[in-house]
Amino acid sequence: MSSRDPDVDKRRLVGVHPERVTNVSSTDFPGHYPDEDHSWDLAKFNKTLQVRVQRLSNRSIEFDLVGVDASIANAYRRVMIAEVPTVCIEHVYVWNNTSVIVDEVLAQRIGLVPLNIDPSLVSMKENANDQATDRNTLVFLLKLACERNPHAPKGSTDPDQLYINHELRSSHLVWKPAGEQAEVFAHNPPAPTNPNIVLAKLRPGQVIDMELHAVKGVGKDHAKFSPVATASYRLLPHIKIKKPIPRHLAEKFQSCFSPGVIKIDPKTKAVSVDERNVRKDTVSREVLRYPEFVDCVELSRVRDFFIFNVESEGPYVPERILLEANAVLRDKIARIRKAAIALRDGQDEDVAMANNS
Amino acid sequence: MGESLMPKIKLGHEPDLSAATYQIHDESHTIGNALRWMLMKNPKVEFCGYSVPHPSENVINVRIQMYDHLSSLDALISALDNLDNVCNSIEEKYLNSLRAGKYERWEEQS
């Protein structure tokens, strides 16, 4: 069934009413409806599953995931936020810092700077205390001294003219290759994705001298490792007009929805829903406030139609984030499966062992 | 890491494993809810539920009870296989959609 179908299966709809939502839970489980088979069937699933990329920019992607349960969509969302790895600065060694920002605050700010390092080229430390090697750590140097500008125009109050190096920016991070790194990263030298992040402000005589160690990590450990700015989904709105809207109320009806959602025929003033633009609606329920529209319209959302919006902030191009999340998810499944098989094969011992402990 | 991931049957279980609680380490709602859903799609599963007993412990408990004295462990393994198939299908269709290129392209300022 396509999303454009005006009469979507009632079971797929979550009702949106003035003061409550109805029909919230999914019911596609075996035994829920008598004489209906809802057991898992991959062929059936593949038939209903649709994944469509809708919009793609250099920073974000919007795609539809149709025909899956909320638990699957949510698993992808959670993995994109918290378990797709990136490389961030984790250790900061301060040799000198005479700026007004204290060491720990500055270190925290530096940690949050997104780096352009492809995480697949770096291995993760098994343990936080593991020895740093050229495979798991990248080193940056951060050195800046602020001076007075001898050629500053007289009477100027603009710090850009008065001082040299008065702003410590992310572009001041200098990558120091170690071991094989110079070769591995030759095509894309490690640096912050945005060179213009102001990390600290300096005045003449103030100096910053630090060594920064970047490691690979995941968002569940620290939010700085999250590869996305947002990764969210919402359900596709569904609007059903139950009886014709009077001509003189057509415009008022249209203004109850987001722009583009409701079409008015210029000649007949007949009101209809633009099926291609329903996704733009916010389901604000404004239309339900007016007595003249009572029983005219039914608002709902399609339970298995997820509109994902993912904004990349870091090394991944936006279209790659779902693929990385997919790989992480499949890896998790494979590991649990392996452990479950081990449990089945060596069943008696393991079960007994667990019961004793 | 590999060892600690081992699901252990911690709480009570029937001798034939027709009802058991699996404690899975280093997992959360991400896998818990998806696995619960897939297990509930199995008509031989009488009951399936999961919980995160405490937010500071990185552990989930998955309870599975079977009809007809079937093994819950077999149900768990087949549910994991099915979940992997789901991921595979989603990946395939996503890549197809990307390759087809029927989407709006735009430039975003950062």
Nearest Cβ partner of A340 from B13, B43, B76?
B76
Does A72 contact B86 at a Cβ distance shorter than 8 Å?
yes
| pTM attached to this predicted model | 0.92
Tell which residue, A70, A72, A66, has the closest CA to residue A53: A66
Chain B CB contacts of A72 under 8 Å are: 34, 37, 86, 90
Tell me whether strands A271-273 and A262-264 are parallel, antiparallel or unpaired.
antiparallel
Torsion, CA B57, CA B59, CA B60, CA B66, rounded to 10: -130
Number of neighbours of residue A161 by Cβ within 10 angstroms: 12
| Tens-digit pLDDT profile for residues A193-223 | 999 999 999 999 999 999 999 999 999 999 9
Topology adopted by domain A11-27+40-82+230-310: Gyrase A; domain 2 (3.30.1360)
Chain A CB contacts of B98 under 8 Å are: 53, 319
CATH number of the structural domain A86-225: 2.170.120.12
- Alpha-carbon span A277 to A299, nearest angstrom: 15
The answer to whether residues A239 and A278 touch, using CB atoms and an 8 Å cutoff, is: yes
pLDDT over threshold 60, residue B74: yes
The pLDDT of residue B10 is 58
Please give the structure tokens belonging to residue A81: 């936020």
DSSP 8-state class, residue A270: -
Q: Is the dihedral of CA A248, A253, A259, A262 positive or negative?
A: negative
A64 to chain B: closest CA residue: B94
Please give the structure tokens belonging to residue A122: 């770096």
A65 to chain B: closest CA residue: B90
Please give the structure tokens belonging to residue A259: 């722009």
Instruction: Estimate to the nearest angstrom the gap between the alpha carbon of A67 and the chain centroid.
Output: 21
Does B81 contact A45 at a Cβ distance shorter than 8 Å?
no
A28, A33, A53: best mutation site toward chain B, by most B Cβ within 10 Å? A53
CA within 13 Å, CB half, A192: 23
CA within 13 Å, CB half, A351: 18
pLDDT over threshold 90, residue B109: no
Does B41 contact A53 at a Cβ distance shorter than 8 Å?
no
pLDDT over threshold 90, residue B40: yes
Q: Structural domain boundaries of chain A?
A: 11-27+40-82+230-310, 86-225
- Alpha-carbon span B94 to B97, nearest angstrom: 5
Does A51 contact B31 at a Cβ distance shorter than 8 Å?
no
Chain B CB contacts of A51 under 8 Å are: 90, 93-94, 96-97
Does A58 contact B8 at a Cβ distance shorter than 8 Å?
no
Q: What is chain A's pLDDT, residue by residue, as a tens digit (357 residues)?
A: 444 555 678 899 999 999 999 999 999 999 999 999 999 999 999 999 999 999 999 999 999 999 999 999 999 999 999 999 999 999 999 999 999 999 999 999 999 999 999 999 999 999 888 999 999 999 999 999 999 999 999 999 999 999 999 999 999 999 999 999 999 999 999 999 999 999 999 999 999 999 999 999 999 999 999 999 999 999 999 999 999 999 999 999 999 999 999 999 999 999 999 999 999 999 999 999 999 999 999 999 999 999 999 999 999 999 999 999 999 999 999 999 998 998 888 754 544 444 433
Question: Closest Cα of chain A to B68: distance in Å?
Answer: 15
Class of domain B9-100: alpha beta
Please give the structure tokens belonging to residue B80: 């994991």
The pLDDT of residue A355 is 42
Question: What's the Cα-to-Cα distance from A266 to each of A258, A263, A271, A276, A277, rounded to whole Å?
Answer: 19, 9, 10, 19, 18
Chain B CB contacts of A68 under 8 Å are: 86, 90
Task: Round to the nearest angstrom and report the end-to-end CA distance of chain B.
Answer: 39
The answer to whether residues A221 and A127 touch, using CB atoms and an 8 Å cutoff, is: no
The answer to whether residues B97 and A51 touch, using CB atoms and an 8 Å cutoff, is: yes
